Structure 1
Amino acid sequence: MLAFRIVILAAFAVAAIAFPRAAIAAEESCPGLVARRGLPIVPASLAADAVQLTYIGHSTFLFETPSGVRIATDYNDFVRPRTTPDVVTMNRAHSTHYSDNPEPGIKRILRGWDPAGGPARHDVQFGDVRIRNVVTNIRQWGGETTLRDGNSIFVFEAADLCIAHLGHLHHTLTPEHLKQLGRIDVLLVPVDGSYTLDLDGMMEVIASINPRIAIPMHFFGLSTLDRFLARAEGQGFTVERRPTPTLTLSRTSLPPTPRVLALPGR
């Protein structure tokens, strides 16, 4: 059973924050947002305009859509949801981001790299959620060699929300990356500052995407998380520490200015 839900209220009294946004045509909408339009909604415990998000730990989150579709990010053998997801995404930087032994009940497995070589290409409609990816490069473990197309930023479009998981991001984003991403409402951000992108670079990525909510992940203890939160506060973000790992998100309840929400992971 997932932890009780916390509804993000729309009325946040915060100072205006001006972050630069890339001049892209897709700014006003998430490209091809078709999730749940024209699709029957199976009765579920969520409202039709809400998505539930639970931070499981490391880089793994569990989403539940209004029709009850469950999705796990960076699914691996070490940190898993207690319930079997319908769909999983994976990345390949380390074994804590993928699994060669997924649970048999999983209906769809989306790898952020193509084992045959070249970029992975995903644009999948599963129930009331659309899942697509934007490929990036990674550094080879133990060296400076670049592995092209080794990581995917997965974008989940459901209930008129666009949620992006940066995966094991190793570099800042180009205008083409930002164009492919389009409008992102909620951004899941690796904040370790070493294995992925350094903190200066990651803050640049957050500013360029300009989400309404940024949620840190991939941190190693509270000291690593605290370092990121201090940096975010220093750059004008309102920072909240939530006591439970579960949020209920809806487009109407997004804060009016960018905000960082830190969730505890098990």
Structure 2
Amino acid sequence: MESIKIVWHGHACFSLIGKKHVLIDPFLTDNPLAKVKPEDLKPDIILVTHGHSDHAEDAVKISKAAHAPVVAAFELSEILKEEGAETIDINPGGTIEYDGIRVKATMATHSSSYNGKYAGNPMGFVIDMGRKIYHAGDTGYFKDMEAIGSIDHPDIALLPIGGHYTMDVDGAFEAVKAIKPAIAMPMHYNTFDVIKADPERFKSLAGTVGTYVIIPEIEKPIEI
């Protein structure tokens, strides 16, 4: 099975690097935790879960520089296309295949706007690159996460734990119980004071149901 390197750039922004480079939720320019700049990243494809600036801020800039398509909800993809990005539209339940990478969009319980414009459905993604990785996007816990576990069988779940705008540690623990991934990683926490959270507590809770939590360090590759 092909190994994949997961690199956390802070907040909800990740690079998944195998034969191809998948970049998710590029938020670097105004991310206080970021250690790289948009121009440092050369992805083959960009996935954007929703239109809020802390997830989509650098999507157009990186798309133009890297000649990489942005996968986003229909309405958001139309907006990003107007700004010069190459886009591939999708909605929850849909699947696209691009250059050997399979991406399925899932639902998420959140909102989505881009510079004040309605940006369609918020989403998560299940990315199949030989290993299946679920990036939940910004979401609260929802019961249908059980279907993501039973139908899509992700090996790894990237889950927000910061609360306030998304689920907190306890909600993420419910997500782990529903999805049953072998590995989980926390995200969307400690970027700002309003989303302070304790990843060690999440690790302890998830361990009680057999999911191993890797707490990522910014720009330190994790090979799986």
Give the TM-score taking structure 1 as reference length. 0.61
Aligned identity (percent) is: 18
Q: In the aligned structure 1, how far is the partner of 2:120 from the partner of 2:154?
A: 21
2:107 to 135, 151, 158: 135
Aligned to 2:128: 157
Aligned to 1:92: 50
SS of equivalent to 1:114:
helix
SS of equivalent to 2:173:
helix
Which amino acid letter does the alignment assign opposite residue 166 of structure 1?
A: A
Kindly state the Cα deviation for residue 135 of structure 1 after the two structures are TM-superposed: 2.1
Kindly state the Cα deviation for residue 74 of structure 1 after the two structures are TM-superposed: 0.8
Larger deviation, residues 74-83 vs 123-132: 74-83
For the pair shown, which has the larger CA radius of gyration, 1 or 2? 1
Q: In the aligned structure 1, how far is the partner of 2:55 from the partner of 2:197?
A: 23
Q: In the aligned structure 2, how far is the partner of 1:51 from the partner of 1:110?
A: 20
Which amino acid letter does the alignment assign opposite residue 52 of structure 1?
A: K
Aligned to 1:198: 168
Which amino acid letter does the alignment assign opposite residue 185 of structure 2?
A: I
Q: In the aligned structure 1, how far is the partner of 2:54 from the partner of 2:91?
A: 19
Q: 1:176 to 1:212 in 2, by over 3 A?
A: closer
Kindly state the Cα deviation for residue 221 of structure 1 after the two structures are TM-superposed: 5.5
Aligned to 2:97: 125
Q: In the aligned structure 2, how far is the partner of 1:196 from the partner of 1:179?
A: 20
2:68 to 107, 111, 115: 107
Gaps of 5+ in 1: 1-47, 142-146, 239-256
Matches within 5 A, 1:144-183: 150-159=121-130, 161-174=131-144, 177-178=147-148, 182-183=152-153
Confirm or deny: 8 A CA contact 1:63 1:72 kept in the other structure: yes
Greater helix share, structure number: 2
Which amino acid letter does the alignment assign opposite residue 218 of structure 2?
A: G
Q: In the aligned structure 1, how far is the partner of 2:112 from the partner of 2:129?
A: 33
Q: 1:149 to 1:229 in 2, by over 3 A?
A: farther
Which amino acid letter does the alignment assign opposite residue 49 of structure 2?
A: N
Q: In the aligned structure 1, how far is the partner of 2:163 from the partner of 2:215?
A: 16
Aligned to 1:52: 5
Give the TM-score taking structure 2 as reference length. 0.71
Q: 1:265 to 1:222 in 2, by over 3 A?
A: farther
CA displacement, residues 61-101 of structure 1 (integer Å, 9 cap, x when unaligned):
11112xx3111001245254722111001122520101344
Matches within 5 A, 1:199-214: 199-214=169-184
Q: In the aligned structure 2, how far is the partner of 1:76 from the partner of 1:166?
A: 16
Aligned to 1:71: 22
**Equivalent residues, number:** 193
Q: In the aligned structure 2, how far is the partner of 1:262 from the partner of 1:133?
A: 25
Aligned to 2:84: none
2:203 to 232, 245, 248: 232
